[in-house]
Each structure stands twice: as structure tokens, then as C-alpha cells.
Amino acid sequence: MAREFQRGHKAKVSDLTAGTDLYVGVQIAGPGLTFDISCFGLDANEQLSDDRYFVFFNQPKSPEESIQLLGAQAGDTESFRVTLDRVPASIHKLSFTATIDGAGQMSQIGPGHIRIVAGGEEVVRYAFTGAEFTTERAVMLGDFYLKDVWRFAAVGQGFDGGLDALLKNFGGEVAEEEQPQQQAPAAGAPGFAPPPQAAAPAPSFGAPAPAPQAPAPAPSFGAPAPAPAPAAPQPPQYQQPAAPAPVHAAPTMAAPLAPPAPAPYGQPPQQPSYGQVPGQYPGQVPPPAPAPGGYGQQPSYGQVPGQMPGQVPGQQPGYAPQAAVPGAGLAAALQPYKEAPTGSRWTPQNQQLMRVDLSMGGQAVLARQGSMVLYQGKVDFSYKGAGFAGRIVGNATGQEMQLMRCTGRGQVFLAENGAHLHAIELQGDAICVSAENVLAFDESLQHEVRRIEGHGIPGGALFTMQFQGTGTVIVKTHGVPVVLPVTPTTFADSNAIVAWSAASQVILSSQVRLRRNAYPGHSGETVNLQFRGAPGNFIVVQPYEV
């Protein structure tokens, strides 16, 4: 039986089906509208770094044929064949999109869906209607994405531009304008594809074709199908641009941000300086003085968006202004601080500012009171009480959180005291985080106070918050944290630990000695946490003691 997904739902493909040879069907229609349905093969940075993996009407398959455009069949407007175990390692996401060819908007469409069929059985269906959109001319329907294993997400995010704008958002560039020509359907559907009639059963790759089709069995994967000779390879239609275009319909800065000849992100004319990569520390506008400050004389931490913990800056915080671009003006000065491109519910704008799109996922966000610094759209903020029992537990354990509930259809920007923010996505697993280090989380996550037993400290125990379920929790740290694997000899200061995997065994280790503390020269490291667990468990420690 097919699982019905809502917008924002995600799951491992292995939890849906054991197969990797999948049929993806898209059904979308509207009065007087025609649609271009495409698949973008994106790299780890969610960019179209290889235009051969843009599969659409003019390029119906990828080089190794792991992604193939099949055409309309079995009631679907367009369909694809995706073989996940043949997708090259350079491709981390397959994004399925639909755009309107010509005039119109997505609010005019009727009920539609994107579905996945494996072995002749429909395993996932995400249904949508035009009521979910307004003036958008494109929609991102669903994604296969690689995060340790292949997963599927129902996206359902509208996009104001057409196919060209969507392509530029993914890092491609239109090489030349052409009138799109819909590929003529093949004379006979492939054996693995579903028959064209709407009442036909779900497609079954590798299964025999219906009897009226042909006397011979349908070809199996790995052998060439008896189809007409392939057409001559066509030249790539798109090239990679200098910078991606933002997805957001109403960007934070409305002024045009395209200077005549700005220096590329992270490559100033003279030397790299802190803050020149997109998504790094918006709001630090260069001062008028032309001479650079002491910080930024050499490449340092913070020059790559989304880099992992461990790249600690070697100098004091500050800002080094970029070399002036003659004639560039204000737009060039503000270019490095544009709103970061979006494509997911949670998007870091820089290391200290997080953006959440409430219209994706259809669920509320619980955030620390006072953490909102900016919002766009129709957003409601309300007080989220913990109840009488929750207040008692919070006061007794020190794990009380003063929260506000954010709902609506808009975008909220969150930050607190310049702390570094990290989005941790949970897929049914659990993580332990101190309440002091939690900035926000999806309301779908279950959270409770967890006790850490121990001896030798007042009260005999420590406490932490445990988050479990499917959703995202935003963790804040002082400085750049380090993530370490759990071993039998892993100890951490209880004042520096930020989070750890919930499956880890935590033992409170006290080094309190009355005689030792009587001397003024003792170490001061009296309470540590010892972690034990199977391989794969981890701890997160910040370079700061609370």
C-alpha cells in the first residue's frame, strides 16, 4: 500500500522499498496550461555542475542512463526511470520539477501528484493542488537526496520564475533561446514502462509486458531494449553561471544586485579576506576606509559556506573591507551579503543566522523567545507554555526553555547573541542537547528531560533535553564545535559539552577530592562525563565553558 506523503515528509528509500530501479510519475494539469517536467542531477552543493544530468525534453537521459525520461503513460503527465545504484558518486540529489511553458500560474492547476513505483507496486504518493500556490510559475515537487543512504522528500515548493530561472537557481545558464519541442512519443512503450491506458496497473520494471504488446518477453535491465537507434548526441544546452539566483520570491534586498563586474565570491582582486564568500556574516558593511583591518590578511575560517566544525579562525574577529571595484557602487558593496539561495525548510544564511520557511512542511516551529530578528510574509507568533508540570520539571532540572510558537506562511530569521548555529536533521533517531544550547526546533519533534545518574555532585545527577522523531533542531554554540566519535576513553567537561547521540551511555565521572581541593593549586576539573557506545555514536564539544 502506498504511503501518503505531505509536504516536507522524508523517508529513507530502503524503508519504502528494497529496490533501486524506480519509476517516478508526475501528474499535473490545468486549463489552457502546458508544462515542462524535468529532473536536475545536483552535486553536493546542490548545483548543476554537470549539465548532462539535466534531464528534460531536449536531453531525455543521463550519460549512463541512470535517469531516463519515459514520456506520458499510466495516467501520468510525465514519467522517469531512476536507477539509484547507477547514479554516479558526484550526484547527491535528483530534484523533480514542473514549470509552466508560457503564461499562467501554479494556482490554476488542479489536483496532481508525484509518485514512486517499485516492482509494480506504488510505494509513495505526494498529492498537491493549486490552492497551495499563488503566482508561482514553477514548483519543486520531490527530491531523491543522498545522506548516508538515498532518501526521498516531498518538497512542494513554488518558484516565481520559469524553467530558465529555475535552471539558473541550480547553477545552470541558458546558452541560447530555443522554442521547446516536445519529444514525440515512441511507437511502443518500453517493456519496463506501464501501458499507456489510465486504468493500467502500476509499472513493474523488469516484468513481462502485456500479451498484446509483443510475443517476446520484455527486456531486462542491463540489456539494451529493442528500440530505434539512438539519436545523435546533442550539444549541451546550458552552461554553469557565475552565481546562483535566489529562490525567494521577495528577496531581502529589493535593489538590483548585479554589478557590472564584481569579483567572484571568495576571490577578491588582491587577497582573500573574511566575509567574501556568499552566505558569510551579512550586515557587516565595509567601512569607507580603504585600508583593510588586521583580520582577513590571509584565508581563515568562514570562507566556505556550510563548512564543518574544526576550522578555527587564527585571528581576532573583525572585518576586512574588499578592494573597491571602480564604478561598482553600492550594489557591489552589498553583493556578498545577499540572502542565501533557498531550497529547503531550514537554510543557514551565515554561521550566526538561520532562516526557516514555514510554508514548507506545514508545521509550526518552536523557537526561543526573542530569537526572531526578521520575518517575511504572514507569520503569527504566540507564547508556548510548558504547563504547570513542565515548569516544575524545568525549574528543578535547569532544562526550562522559554519558547514562542511560529506559524503561518512566511520566512523567519533566527539568531541569538551572535552564537554559531547548526541545523541537525533527525530521521526517527534521537539526540541529547542541553536546553541552553537549543535555539529552535520543529514542533513535530518530541522532547523531554533526561536524567544522567552520577555520584559525588550535589543532587547526584545532571540533566539534559532529548529530542526524538522526524524534524530539525537548531543547536547554538560558542565558537566552532568539534565532533568526536565515542570511545571507552572519551571524557568531556560537563560545562563544554553541547550534544551527543542518544544511544551513547553516559557516566558521570567526579574527580572531587576534599584533600586535593583544600590546596589552592588543584586542577579545577572536578566533574567530567564519560561516554561509551557502539561505533557511530558521537559527542559535540564547543571551545567554551558555560
Cα within 13 Å of Cα(275), Cβ side: 24
Q: Does residue 454 surpass a pLDDT of 70? A: no
Distance of CA 264 to the CA centre of its chain: 24
Mean pLDDT, to the nearest integer, of 181-190? 42
Distance separating alpha carbons of residues 408 and 380, to the nearest angstrom: 6
Who wins on pLDDT, 183 or 81? Answer: 81
Which run of H or of E encompasses 329?
helix 329-334
Q: Please report, in angstroms and rounded to a whole number, the separation of the first and last CA atoms in the chain.
A: 50
The confidence score (pLDDT) of residue 252 equals 40
Average pLDDT, the chain: 74
Give the chain's length.
546
The confidence score (pLDDT) of residue 313 equals 46
What confidence tens digit (pLDDT) does each residue in 114-155 have? 999 998 899 999 999 999 888 889 999 999 999 999 999 999
Of the ranges 9-18, 224-233, 314-323, the best mean pLDDT one:
9-18
Of the ranges 18-32, 173-187, 188-202, the best mean pLDDT one:
18-32
Residues 257 and 248 sit within 8 Å (Cβ to Cβ) = no
Distance separating alpha carbons of residues 440 and 418, to the nearest angstrom: 15
Distance separating alpha carbons of residues 65 and 265, to the nearest angstrom: 34
> The C-alpha cell of 220 is what?
531486462
Q: Does residue 504 surpass a pLDDT of 60? A: yes
What confidence tens digit (pLDDT) does each residue in 355-402 have? 998 888 778 999 999 899 999 888 998 887 665 555 555 555 556 678
DSSP letters for 417-433: TT-EEEEEEEEEEEEEE
Residues 46 and 93 sit within 8 Å (Cβ to Cβ) = yes
Candidates 320, 325, 267, 268; CA nearest to 297 is 320
What confidence tens digit (pLDDT) does each residue in 202-254 have? 555 644 344 444 444 443 443 444 444 455 555 445 454 454 444 444 444 33
The percentage of the chain sitting over the pLDDT mark of 70, rounded to a whole number, equals: 62
When mean pLDDT is compared across 33-42, 217-226, 424-433, the lowest value belongs to 217-226
Residues 321 and 493 sit within 8 Å (Cβ to Cβ) = no
The confidence score (pLDDT) of residue 14 equals 93
The confidence score (pLDDT) of residue 266 equals 45
Q: Does residue 537 surpass a pLDDT of 90? A: no
Who wins on pLDDT, 484 or 329? Answer: 484
169: phi then psi, degrees, rounded to nearest 5: -60, -35
Residues 13 and 133 sit within 8 Å (Cβ to Cβ) = no
The confidence score (pLDDT) of residue 231 equals 52
Mean pLDDT, to the nearest integer, of 406-429? 91
pTM of the model: 0.42
> The C-alpha cell of 304 is what?
566556505
Q: Does residue 59 surpass a pLDDT of 70? A: yes
462: left (phi over 0), alpha (psi -120 to 50) or beta: beta
When mean pLDDT is compared across 261-270, 275-284, 298-307, the lowest value belongs to 298-307
The confidence score (pLDDT) of residue 69 equals 96
Distance separating alpha carbons of residues 47 and 265, to the nearest angstrom: 15
* CA angle 112–113–116, rounded 5-degree value: 160
The confidence score (pLDDT) of residue 299 equals 41
- How far from 519 is each of 430, 510, 516, 525, CA to CA, in Å? 42, 18, 6, 14
The percentage of the chain sitting over the pLDDT mark of 90, rounded to a whole number, equals: 34
**453 - beta bridge partners?**
461
Mean pLDDT, to the nearest integer, of 397-423? 86
Candidates 322, 196, 310, 201; CA nearest to 270 is 322
The confidence score (pLDDT) of residue 190 equals 42
The confidence score (pLDDT) of residue 48 equals 92
DSSP label of 352 = T
